[in-house]
Structure 1
Amino acid sequence: MTTLKDPSITPSTFSTTRFDYLIVGGGTAGLVVAARLSEARGSSITVGVLEAGPKSLDDPLINVPGRFGESLGGQYDWRFETVPQPGLNGRRLLWPRGRVLGGTSALNFMTWTRGNREDYDAWEELGNEGWGWDGMLPFFKRTETLHQSSPKHQSQHQSHFNTEFHGTDGPISSIYSKDFSAPHQHWHATLNNLGLETNKSHFSGSNLGAFTTLTSVDPDTRTRASSATAYYLPNLGRSNLHVLPDATVHRVLLEGRDDEWVATGVAYACGGQEFVVRAAREVILCAGSVQSPQVLELSGIGNPEILEAAGISVKVANSNVGENLQEHMRNNQLSVTAAIYELPSDLIGPDELRADSVLAAAAQEAYKTSQSGVYAMLPCALGYASLSQVIPSPKLRWILSNLPTAETSRDKILSKQFTNSKRGQIEYLFDLGNWSPYFKSEPGRVYGTMLMMLQLPLSKGSIHITSSSINDKPAIDPKYFEGPGGELDFSIMSYCQRFADKICRTSPLSSIIQKRVYPPESFFPSPSEYKEDFTSWIRSSCITDWHPIGTCAMGGHEGIKAGVVDARLRVYGVKRLRVADASVMPLHICSHPQATVYAIGEKAAEMILNDWGS
């Protein structure tokens, strides 16, 4: 592997440069903010970015779409894990996060989707002005260039779109794949047979139903489009934009001025040495849902009990820092089940390429010469269903009548959302490969995985420091299936898993499925008799979908009593300090969050420039 040549700066020079803005984290949102600030008003604004990982702009492990998932657990991954989860039989779950320029946008599966109108309107209803659907749509469009599929492609692959809701000149290219795996060919007809209609405009404020998803991939090279390739690479020659890789921020520097705290810079380490760098205007945390709260706490902003236990002096007391963790299993990360089905042996997917060098070489040649084949493929067959579409009415009535008592404004809005049949609260996805860490593939056999993901979990978790060192990983505690809300999450997952299995028993998808191998099936009843119990399997196999949000949430009407930042992403109690990443989202969305995080970066940059004027 080689590394693209680009302007470099030494830690010593970086620390003595006069920056207007310092951005902590060169990830999905961080590079958006950096690009937009550094392009504003000519070159009069100087921007510095500190990224803990390397640049690695041309590694095929990252850039080749069909190699999605291979980088997880490797050198570009922070390799976080949760504390033991009682709701998951005491298991710890791995929590991949990007440790490379581009952050998690360089590790994710390139799924390009958008939430529902109601998802974002809920943020505004909490008092976060400008964060509703209408306020967010211009920023969704600003980040994207839609490359339209041909009429023939639309007819063959259901690659529908409505140009009114897409961008035309944004840095991120959104495209439909050239080729799709065998299961995709049967996806729409199968879900249609189960009452889930094809959604021909899933970017217009409702993603309910089945659709072929767009992907964040360059249309010419068919390589990954990340924040590094789209927002940094075209702008790396700017004299006012400096990115320092392999630099780990230890804390934000806070100074007391006239009885208030002001962010003046950061302390960081690079190459085994420690440095300090100053910001004339603002420090902007874009370190993600795990590390933005970690850096705040190490800087003295957070719950006094947690800070004092770690030996940190309290500067700003705020018990919301690191709380409100939601992850597609509701206010925690997404909860995912992965059932494995055996498929015909002549199908070829990513597992087969990793096991057979001859197949891999042929796939590599197809990708190199025509940007096609398995290495150009991504999982694109998605479906979102409301609870009322997949849970029997008596059971759903019981669930709705047993929702936990709403103690906060967020809880009240979330409870109200559970009665909204327009929300796709359960995501389904089927594609080739064994996606489960708990099932061992047998050589020579081909597998497909049915994923089911809970979008609006009721259980809430937290992320907190355990010491005063940035080198000690924080305690990640999603509290999966814990508490009254967690018990309902578990019940919902159990019933929705039946529908997941029903999809695989429905024609035409069932025509390429030989049998379910994980969990092993003890019987194969007819649909009318189907009442299989998945509860014990879910408890022992459920994992995360890597979509954590909420740990530095916007407080809305309640301010510091309910959140960490205001609607302009300014940290309560500190001047010249903001957070701009997925951690500011107060409630989760029924969608993969990538496109939303880009939009957060776009909106943050505009607010920063407007607040500082000319």
Structure 2
Amino acid sequence: MTTPHISASDFVKKSFDFLIIGGGTAGLVVAARLSENPNLIVGVLEAGSASLGEDANIDIPAYYGNTLGGKHDWQFETTPQSGLGGRTLAWPRGKVLGGTSALNFMTWNRGAQKDYDAWKELGNEGWGWDDLLPFFKKSETFHPPDEDIQKEAKLYYDPDAVGFSGPLQTSYMREYSASHALWHPTLNALGVQTNEAHLSGSNVGVWTTVCSVDPQTCGRSYAANAYYQPNASRSNLHLLTGAEVKKVLLNREDGEWVAKGVHFVHDGDEFEVFASREIILSAGSVQSPQILELSGIGGAAVLERAGVLVKVDNPNVGENLQDHIMTAMIFEVDPTLQNPDDPNTDPELAASALNGYSSSKSGSLTILPCSICYVPFTHFVTPEILSPITSQAASTIDTFSEADSIRLRRLSHPQNLGQIEYIFDLGNWSTSFQPDPSDGRKYGTMLQILQYPFSKGSIHIQPPETGSTSPHNLAIDPQYYTGRTGHIDFEIMTHCQRFAEKICSTKPLSNIIRSRAFPAPSLSDDKLKDWILETTITDWHPVGTCAMGGKGGMKTGVVDERLRVYGVKGLRVVDASIMPLQISAHLQATVFAIAEKAACMILEDLNR
């Protein structure tokens, strides 16, 4: 599909009502919904290219991961993390139309009801589970599974909790890895029950995940082909790709700062473009705080150090960064099993897989990792182990912070919350384990992902380096396992790792497992702790850097409950950065719901 072309010089001549910074997961939702009103002129500025239907690495499900580190990835990195032995971690973010929804692994799930109710508890009215559920449903068209595989693959759902007429196509996959048939009975044997309504407000239990895949095409469904492509011909919707925004233009009017336009660079030339109603910042958890700070909105100390004029002094910008962290334990498995990695190492298998996908939309290129479970700590950590961790947390967190009190409550009180996520699939997913491809061995990966981190970090602009081609450097510092409370995450991950091994040593899954390959089976408990520090990586789910302030307002956040930036008229943030607390889920479904709700609020405010 060819994206309607407009030059930068023609784009800036338009009389826009709304300008949206970022044509990603959230930005394209807002653009589509606002432009449903033919009287509103909407402009979208996207730094990446369109690539609609032009890149198999985006469109074909099993090619997930191929885009990471490539031209569609901003290729961010963290600062050296002292809690990880000084390692820096790659932080992939989508630099393409559709944003990170074009790069992710297509997992489509939701957090717990208590996750969103906690946002409301902080004083963010309208952001509880009951408030968001209509927008979750509005975003999707869920395709019920075929009856012939529904029971076999445990494909359950609650029809009252899913949408059937939204832009995003969601479905259960039709084919699965050979290990998936063993997943449910293994977890059931360990007392983890199958959750038949995992999209209905509790994800605790074992289940088969829904994916953002269109079952008609067996291709990725994401913001670009779901929200933009069907609406690209609208005369009131204008998209400029290759446009990197540098700052929001603010004017001082009657003693208030007002967002009037955007300064951006396109093909090396600088431009300014204006909007009469609002600027909507949807650049994600990394770049939304960056653009605010470059615009003069942020902590005075940060801005002054970077040489930016302070307009709105709000030290919360870029703070409150929360991310999911994970480890990947590798097991040698039955060599006769068909492995998703095989086409990567065998050209004949790769050609055969592509032929099967092209001709019948079947085969290994349609298979995604779908074996998932979420479990509370209390399922496998005894009170004797959990109690001192809880006491330690209580002594170190800021109990005067309501958000920290919620974190502590999640840990200290037995709750039906999915505090740890486990995913198993065939193939080697580790970035640290590099086996010899010629030895004929095959592997499976057990991922362990912490859902409610105590570690909190920051993202801030930095003073420009001498000779740098970028106007500002960006310091992404998640503070994994460090800071006042990060050590709690490490304690939790250490104890939870043992349950990951227990899963893989329980039948029937253990029937296909030969031995642990990474870390080495002989590793002592102390060495296992070292391994966790040496191999922990991000699950690429950053939130919170432009959080809703709730009861504390500007003292605790960056935007109000209607996502309006404190201290500036006509400027909102709409993306994962507004989430005040992390959730127990992969983020994309929640980001789509946030954007749907935001668009609704913007239109409501327009008519007031």
Q: TM-score range by the shorter chain?
A: over 0.9
Structure 2 match to 1:91: 87
Alignment partners' CA distance in 1, 2:470 and 2:191: 50
Structure-2 residue corresponding to 1:50:
45
2: CA distance, partners of 1:456 / 1:290: 19
Residues in 2 aligned to 1:364 and 1:585: alpha-carbon distance in whole angstroms: 39
Find 1:409's aligned residue among 402, 418, 422: 402
Aligned to 2:362: 372
Amino acid paired to 1:548: P
Question: Aligned partners of 1:407 and 1:590: how far apart in 2?
Answer: 24
List aligned pairs for 1:556-595, cutoff 5 A: 556-595=550-589
Once the two structures are TM-superposed, the CA of residue 392 in structure 1 deviates from its matched residue by 2.2
Question: Cα deviations across residues 491-532 of structure 1 (Å, max 9, x unaligned)?
Answer: 000000000111111111111111111101018xxxxxx978
Are residue 388 (structure 1) and residue 385 (structure 2) matched? no
- The structure-2 alpha-carbon separation of the partners of 1:553 and 1:420, relative to structure 1 and needing over 3 Å to count, comes to farther
Secondary structure of the structure 2 residue equivalent to 1:28: coil
Distance 1:488 1:253, change over 3 A: same
Does the 8 Å CA contact 1:498/1:534 hold for their aligned counterparts?
no
Deviations 1:353-411 (A, max 9, x none): 11111001111111112211110010001000001012122101111222133241211
Q: Which residue of 1 aligns with 2:219?
A: 223
Q: Aligned to 2:520, what secondary structure does the other structure show?
A: coil
Matched residue SS, 1:275 = strand
Partner Cα distance (2:406, 2:521) in 1: 39
Q: Is the 8 A contact 1:498 1:532 kept in 2?
A: no
Structure 2 Cα separation of the partners of residues 160 and 152 of structure 1: 13
Please tell me whether residue 335 in structure 1 is matched to residue 325 in structure 2. yes
* Local SS of the residue matching 1:465: strand
After superposition, residues 112-511 of structure 1 pair within 5 angstroms as 112-327=108-323, 334-403=324-393, 404-405=396-397, 406-418=399-411, 419-443=413-437, 444-467=440-463, 472-511=472-511
Q: Judge conservation of contact 1:80–1:473 (CA < 8 Å) in 2.
A: no
Q: Which amino acid aligns with 1:287?
A: A
Shift of 1:345: 2.2
Inter-partner Cα distance in structure 2 for 1:510 and 1:188: 13
Q: Do the aligned partners of 2:316 and 2:546 also contact (CA within 8 Å) in 1?
A: yes
User: Is the 8 Å Cα contact of residues 306 and 472 (structure 2) preserved in structure 1?
Assistant: no
Name the structure 2 match of 1:603. Answer: 597
**Could you list the runs of 5+ residues in structure 2 that have no partner in the other structure?**
none
- Which of 85, 98, 105 in structure 2 is aligned with 1:102? 98
The equivalent residue for 1:8 is 5
Residue of 532, 538, 541 corresponding to 1:538: 532
Q: Is the counterpart of residue 25 in structure 1 residue 18 in structure 2?
A: no
- Aligned mates of 2:471, 2:141 — CA distance in 1: 39
* Residues 420/140 of structure 1: CA separation in 2 closer, same or farther (3 Å cut): farther
Return the alpha-carbon distance in structure 2 between the equivalents of residues 554 and 25 of structure 1.
Answer: 20
Partner of residue 70 from structure 1, selected from 60, 66, 72: 66
Q: 1: distance between equivalents of 2:255 and 2:220?
A: 48
- Asked if 2 retains the 8 angstrom alpha-carbon contact of 1:387 and 1:421, the reply is no
Deviation, structure 1 residue 412: 1.2
SS in 2 for 1:220: coil
In structure 2, the residue matched to 1:331 is: none
Deviation at 1:482, TM superposition (A): 0.7
Give deviations 1:389-446, integer Å, cap 9, x for gaps: 1212210111122213324121112211222421101000011221111110221322
Contact 2:3 2:50 in 1 (8 A): no
SS at the partner of 1:411?
helix
Aligned length: 597
TM-score by length of 2: 0.97
- Paired with 2:444 and 2:102, the residues of 1 have a C-alpha distance of 24
Deviations 1:526-581 (A, max 9, x none): xxxx9786211101110000000000000001000000000000000000000000
Rounded to whole Å, the distance in 1 between the matches of 2:470 and 2:97 is 19
3-state SS of paired residue (1:108): coil
Q: Please say if residues 543 and 577 of structure 2, whose CA atoms lie closer than 8 Å, have aligned partners that are also in contact.
A: yes
- Determine if the alignment matches structure 1 residue 34 to structure 2 residue 24: no
User: Within 2, Cα distance between the matches of 1:555 and 1:531?
Assistant: 42
Report the more deviating stretch, 402-411 or 308-317: 402-411
Whether the 8 Å contact between 2:378 and 2:414 is mirrored in structure 1 is no
Any conservation in 2 of the 1:67–1:350 contact (CA below 8 Å)? no
Cα distance, 1:152 vs structure 2: 2.6
For each residue in 1:307-354, what CA deviation from the matched residue of structure 2 results, as whole angstroms up to 9, or x when unmatched? Answer: 001000000000000000000xxxxxx110001111122333332111
Partner SS state of residue 427, structure 1: strand
The percent identity for this pair of structures is: 54
Change (3 A) 1:531 1:270: closer
Question: What SS is found at the alignment partner of 2:353?
Answer: helix
CA distance in 2, matches of 1:285, 1:244: 15
Task: Return the alpha-carbon distance in structure 1 between the equivalents of residues 246 and 213 of structure 2.
Answer: 34
Distance 1:532 1:308 in 2: 44
Q: Shift of residue 472 of structure 1?
A: 4.0
Partner Cα distance (2:269, 2:534) in 1: 44
Question: Secondary structure of 2:271's match?
Answer: strand
Superposition deviation, residue 6 in structure 1: 2.8
Q: Distance in 2 between matches of 1:470 and 1:142?
A: 40
Task: Please report how far the alpha carbon of residue 448 of structure 1 lies from its aligned counterpart in structure 2 after TM superposition.
Answer: 1.1
Cα RMSD (Å): 1.3
Instruction: Show CA shifts across 1:245-288 (max 9, x none).
Output: 11000000000001100000100010111100001100000000
Question: Is the Cα–Cα contact under 8 Å of residues 2 and 52 in structure 2 kept in the other structure?
Answer: no
Name the SS for the 1:157 alignment partner: coil
State the secondary structure of the residue aligned to 2:276.
strand
Contact 2:424 2:445 in 1 (8 A): yes
Bigger drift between 22-31 and 369-378 goes to: 369-378
CA gap 1:277/1:360 in 2 versus in 1, 3 angstroms:
same
Note the alpha carbon deviations across 1:194-220, whole angstroms, 9 max, x for none.
111100000110000000000000111
Measure the CA separation in 2 of the matches of 1:257 and 1:459.
Answer: 40
Matches of 1:71 and 1:313 in 2, distance apart? 37
Deviation per CA, 1:188-245: give whole Å up to 9, x if none: 0010111111000001100000000000001111000010010001111101101111
